[in-house]
Amino acid sequence: MRQTWLLPVATATFVLFVAGSIAAVTMWSVAPWIIPLLAVPSLIVTWFALAVALADLMRRPAHRFPGGRWLWLLLIALLNVVAFLPYWLLVARGPADED
């Protein structure tokens, strides 16, 4: 079962967390020390999405990756949340078993 739908969800969760944190501190005078507590759901979704992305990356044939598998491996490992959406748009939405 493919779980790649989690990649754009993780990106959206991260963006909403960042926007929500900025709004909470600036508009509602929330104490900044509360922000790390609010980050927990975003971190959990991001960790699951990272596992899904790396598993999907290793399962697909090498010719399916624009720029090569190593480029995507580095992008996902180093930029994870930022790289999830481009990976999902360019690679993961296609069939996994294509030869």
At 52-99, the pLDDT tens digits run 999 998 888 888 888 889 999 999 989 888 899 899 888 888 776 654
pTM for the complete prediction? 0.79
> What mean pLDDT, rounded, does the chain reach?
85
CA angle (10 as vertex; 33, 59 as ends), nearest 5: 135
pLDDT digits (tens, 9 = 90+) for 36-61: 887 888 889 999 999 999 999 888 88
Report residue 19's pLDDT band, with 50, 70 and 90 as the boundaries.
confident
pLDDT of residue 74: 92
Residue 81: which of 17, 2, 3, 1 has the closest Cα?
A: 17
**φ/ψ (deg, to 5) at 68:** 100, 155
